[in-house]
Structure 1
């Protein structure tokens, strides 16, 4: 059956902005982001003095008006209302100007609440030290945000440290829903989503092998990479190509084969890719020298499960012992109050090992990771083809936080979190590693 363009269109009635105001009411202060999606600016409302973030909508090559990708992002952001999701306040535009084709065009901006930092920027600054309790707070908020969007049937599809924003008071916000989409189980019919999503270093094995019928586990994989990065301060698997990324995943997570992942052999690219053989799973083994907390290693291990059907989900992850044994998650505001300047990946030094120059496969202008980071020369976990650079344990800023773990009274109420979160969803330091 043919579907008309009219049927495909997102209805403007669904976009609840009463009007599109002139962006000149804001004064641009600094450029804080740049990528394939366009530019992001810090700006201030001229009258109220409120500071906001302005995200420019890239309009190039848009012969048919407003980009469908931007409409999708707006639609999704209006649907999502949660403390751990970035808040879209309004859409503004410039006064229309007559272009070379005699068409009147405006530049559009999405206006968000301003967040002082992104996680990639914080991790690239070694004066920022996270205690174990603070790392728990970061991951708890990240997973609360993911649980909420997955419960709302939305996939983020671009989980990475640069898309995790943190306010100066310590509230985490998932951001950049430019690749996000709704998902559904279509009466047993498989979905046919694009697999050309997620920045390469955070892309899960099912996407690298061509899967198009995917779901929330793709965001969990990226979250596992981010969690490890809280200690490593640099992305843990820095592939140059899809093939290289699969090799790094195999070296860390074990050989990709039907024995550990039933049905993987039927994925479109399984036969085409050269998958390393006879690799044992070494996630915990490789993490242990850098992450002293066994519960943290265990949770990352569960998030980096090869078979997406066996990968832990956000709700189960939030009930993991990691969050419910001492030290408990603690407020980030005190630590962040010592850092008065905003930290964003765009403004930070590159975050890639200096051995690598080929990053043309990365999406969203992925910045390279820190030169001299403790990772293998193969771009992956130390031991996967290279030695771990020397990193002192004292650089972690964690030593005084690692008391022996005792069962906390908080763990008694652990199982109640899932039920409470389900109801809520119904309404709308560390050393370098690898």
Structure 2
């Protein structure tokens, strides 16, 4: 009996019988008929045949390249009958610069409806249509919710040919237009928010995030600039350029799927991503929601690090030291041991948690009579510093160092803070009525985070090159690991 596996023996015998049964092909007997050269062999490789002249391989490569060029010409001159041309919209102004595209305010020439056109940047694409844009379209098709931006359609446009470039098709995502983003509103000191405004917008944000997570989708770029407010006063989550579906294992013993940790704008990035975690889940979005909630009180991002190490230091200074006592699984993070062993560690020890104390003294909102509760620098304007214990408790939970101690979006939506007076309203339309012009971070701050927080008075360093118009904002990365 043969010691070989049954499948191997069967494969060998069938192959031998096939060879014996196959008839021999007659060779060409005409001297004046050269053998034909096959571009693609039976095994899928370029296999020139017929005696093998010295230039036969090179000729095959030339033929393949010519075929590819012919296909490219077909694609360049192709029409797309099932999508509209972007010429149906009139661009009015540029209102945003994201990780994967530019955003324009535009008007539909037929209906007069205002829309937002997101141009998909394809100049650096070498593998066709960007997978991030495909994800964004696919996810927004299934995410129909009042607190999530509404995708209307996808449009195309032909770019003009020049001496250095050829005709290429550019694609645009058409969204329902929202008049403001949260970062732009918070950058304007003339925008006066009351406690009910803050509570209503946070309720909308958590509700939209809960819809995302119930649909098994991670946003992965939660920040104030990606939170839009419509003219009717409804908050909507936007910019799904880094979003992706996730897999939730029912059996905790099964290995968790790995994703890239090069996501989330630096100022809103949770400690697990900064420590190299790739098996993360929905709690990274919950941390971003906590940063946005604190930003509503302080009117500026609360942790503005230049580097990942600096960001970890700021997190430790505000939320306490990162160690196994407060986060048992931190030792499993890929970068924890290396960072903790450094002399000037980005993980300083002995730091107490002072989030409540610092945020309480920075809280700024208008009272019921319209008078500010604190001045722009957080100093007292009366004998009583504004206090909201339930809000501080929710913020403490959202910004917990240990991801397992943060609430889910579903749990946060049912927090007791939303059920105490003043209860959230259906919208903040009364606040929108007091703002005559659109407020976007790009138009108010002249770029991502410029004019806000520490960047306001910081000149550009001499050795830094000027930012290109299509540069990625600080702290953001292209998603290359899926």
TM-score, with normalisation over the residues of structure 2?
0.69
Is the CA contact (8 Å cut-off) linking 2:99 and 2:241 kept in structure 1?
no
Range 64-73 or range 169-178, more displaced: 64-73
Mark the CA change 1:323 to 1:358 in structure 2 (over 3 Å): closer, same or farther: farther
Q: How big is the shift at 1:112?
A: 0.2
Instruction: Map 1:86-97; keep pairs closer than 5 Å.
Output: 86-95=149-158, 97=160
- Distance in 2 (CA, whole Å) between partners of 1:102 and 1:121 is 36
- The yes-or-no answer on 1:319 pairing with 2:414 is yes
Q: Give the whole-Å Cα distance in 1 for the aligned partners of 2:319 and 2:247.
A: 29
The superposition leaves residues 48-77 of structure 1 with CA deviations (integer Å, 9 ceiling, x where unpaired) of: 101100000000122332111111111111
User: 1:259: which partner in 2?
Assistant: 325
Which range moved further: 99-108 or 42-51?
Answer: 99-108
Q: Secondary structure of 2:286's partner? A: helix
- Describe the shift of the 1:270–1:357 C-alpha distance in structure 2 as closer, same or farther (beyond 3 A): farther
Cα RMSD of the aligned pairs, angstroms, is 2.1
Stretches of structure 1 lacking an aligned partner (at least 5 in a row): 1-16, 368-434
- Which residue of structure 2 lines up, in the alignment, with residue 352 of structure 1? 453
Separation of aligned partners in 1, 2:162 and 2:154: 22
1:309-353 per-residue CA deviation (whole Å, 9 max, x = no partner) reads: 111111111111211101111331012111120000001132132
How many equivalent pairs are there? 350
CA 1:75–1:20 in 2, change beyond 3 Å: closer, same or farther?
Answer: same
Question: In the alignment, which of 137, 140, 145 is matched to residue 77 of structure 1?
Answer: 140
CA contact (8 A) 1:240 1:358 kept: no
Write out per-residue CA displacement over residues 124-154 of structure 1, whole angstroms, 9 at most, x where no aligned residue: 1111111101101000000000000000000
- 2:352 maps to which of 280, 301, 304: 280
Are 1:148 and 2:211 an aligned pair?
yes
- Structure label with greater radius of gyration: 2
Q: d(CA) in 2 for partners of 1:36 and 1:29? A: 21
1:249 to 291, 311, 315: 315
8 Å CA contact retained: 1:115, 1:166? yes
Compute the TM-score of the two structures, normalised by the length of structure 1. Answer: 0.77
Distance 1:82 1:35 in 2: 22
SS of residue in 1 equivalent to 2:106? strand
Give the Cα–Cα distance (whole angstroms) in 1 for the partners of residues 459 and 283 of structure 2: 30
CA displacement, residues 209-256 of structure 1 (integer Å, 9 cap, x when unaligned): 000000110001011010011111100000110000000001111110
Contact 1:97 1:106 in 2 (8 A): no
Q: Equivalents in 2 of 1:238, 1:122: separation in Å? A: 19
Alignment of 1:110-149 (within 5 A): 110-149=173-212
Cα distance change of structure 1 residues 60 and 320 upon mapping to structure 2, 3 Å threshold: same
Equivalence for 1:294: 389
Mark the CA change 1:102 to 1:278 in structure 2 (over 3 Å): closer, same or farther.
Answer: closer
